Amino acid sequence: MGNKINISEPQIEEKEIKAVVNVLKSRNIVQGELVAKIEEKFSKLCGVEYAIATSNGTSALHTALFAAGVGEGDEVITTPFTFVATVNSILMVGATPVLVDIDEGTFNINPREIEKAVSKKTKAIITVDLYGQPVDYSEIRKIAKKHKLIIIEDAAQSVNASYKGKKTGNLADIGCFSFYATKNITCGEGGMVTTNNKNFYIKAKEFINHGQRIGKNYDYVGIGYNYRMTDIAAAILLEQLKKVDMFTKKRQKNANRYNNAFFRTNGIIIPEIAPNRTHVFHQYTIRVAQPFPITRDRLKVLLESKGIMSRIYYPIPLYRFFHIKKDSRIFDCPVTDRVSREVLSLPVHPALSKSEIDYIIDAVIGQ
């Protein structure tokens, strides 16, 4: 095969291009009608009362923590096996990240480890639906209820996934999404905050618009940022949203094809789907372990030599980085340490053909 197979590929078609051209021609290029429309449609997808469009997923997380009233002196429990923005957002509001270990099967935060880490200062939990699979919300809700904690869902990777029949964005007190170019739906850069709580909604809406009181120009309730989405981005996202079910099905089908091929391969551990939830396969992530004949890193290089771009999400647990280590409370994370040496994500995006998937399967099994 001559062409490279990329790990991700934004699915941009004529519809998205036309939608952007229409916005440009209208001259209404900043926040306007289309942002209002995507907020309405996205809230319907999630089944929540409110959705607030933001400039990206990181600003959505920052906004959610602010709206939840998390600040200096507070602790926020989360996973070290995530993208850095999850933990950076906690530092951005001056709170202390508390990093606990994950569950080996799902790669998601382990509720039992959360329970051990709760202190008098704990204010919130940020769950991350890693690779597109929701965490065990029933278990996490029990802990949150017992200790009066707010749950913030980092659903950057899990748009359209569900847990016990409820969609992501509606599984915690506040949900946060990203529409970065590699995510399941994209508008280049973009994000969303979702909630059923009116107070959180008002705070979030003000925060992303310079702290300006809703409906009152130049009247500021407090500090705010410019975290608004533009109508240019919203136009793209409206088209993407129409295809989210189709994208999801294609990813799930690709994942299934891999599973059927790999489940008998010694040393390849296929991703586990825990009960009561759907997995939208933002990433299809295998573990490469004994007795597979070569190491994970060697397999990655070999795949690359065959034009297959695999990626390691995430090679270094976040507690290893100085700026995080120095300001966090860190628990033992033997599972995170181990799986960060074993995980390898293979291309699973909707544009892959059956023959490309078969080619990747042969390249892995052939080792």
Residues that bind ligand PLP (CB under 6 A): 56-58, 82-83, 85-86, 128, 154, 156-157, 178, 180, 191
What is d(CA 177, CA 133) in angstroms, rounded to the nearest whole number?
A: 14
Backbone torsions φ then ψ of 52, nearest 5 degrees: -120, 115
Cβ at position 243, least distance to ligand PLP in Å: 19
What is d(CA 75, CA 50) in angstroms, rounded to the nearest whole number?
A: 26
3-state secondary structure 64-93: HHHHCCCCCCCEEEECCCCCHHHHHHHHHC
Element containing residue 174 per DSSP (H, E): strand 174-178
Cβ at position 89, least distance to ligand PLP in Å: 8
Tell me the catalytic residues.
183
Tell whether the torsion through CA atoms of 204, 207, 213 and 217 is positive or negative.
negative
What is d(CA 309, CA 299) in angstroms, rounded to the nearest whole number?
A: 11
Cβ at position 282, least distance to ligand PLP in Å: 8
Residue of minimal Cβ distance to ligand PLP? 57
Of the candidates 124, 111, 129, the residue with the CA atom closest to the CA atom of residue 167: 129
Cβ-based nearer residue to ligand PLP, 180 or 262: 180
Cβ-based nearer residue to ligand PLP, 192 or 344: 192
Cβ-based nearer residue to ligand PLP, 127 or 310: 127
Cβ at position 148, least distance to ligand PLP in Å: 25
Cβ-based nearer residue to ligand PLP, 76 or 364: 76
Bridge partner residues of 174 (DSSP): 152, 195
